[in-house]
Amino acid sequence: MSDKWLEELQEKVANCWEWHSPALQVTFRYTKPDEDDVFWEIWAYPAVQEIVGGKEDGESVWSGFNFDVSGILERL
């Protein structure tokens, strides 16, 4: 089976993601189904970013974001 649908899903998810600050990417991980199962597990989450400058210089943080769930449902 082609994983083209997975690439399309990742693009749809990324397009529904609105960052509160400059960010590089949405990170994706997935697990293919076992022999006895047909369901995939797919995780999408913001990449950890490093603060540059100031008293928190070098700290790793999550960037705030909004995710438009209705946008992803409309596109499925």
Predicted pLDDT of residue 75: 58
Shortest CA distance to 72 belongs to which of 10, 4, 5, 13?
Answer: 13
Residue 13: Cβ-neighbour burial (10 angstroms; 0-12, 13-18, 19+): middle
Please check whether residue 50 is in contact with residue 59, taking contact to mean a CB–CB distance below 8 angstroms: yes
Per-residue pLDDT of the chain (76 residues; tens, 9 = 90+): 468 888 888 888 888 888 887 766 788 899 988 888 888 899 998 877 888 889 989 888 877 888 898 888 875 5
Predicted pLDDT of residue 43: 92
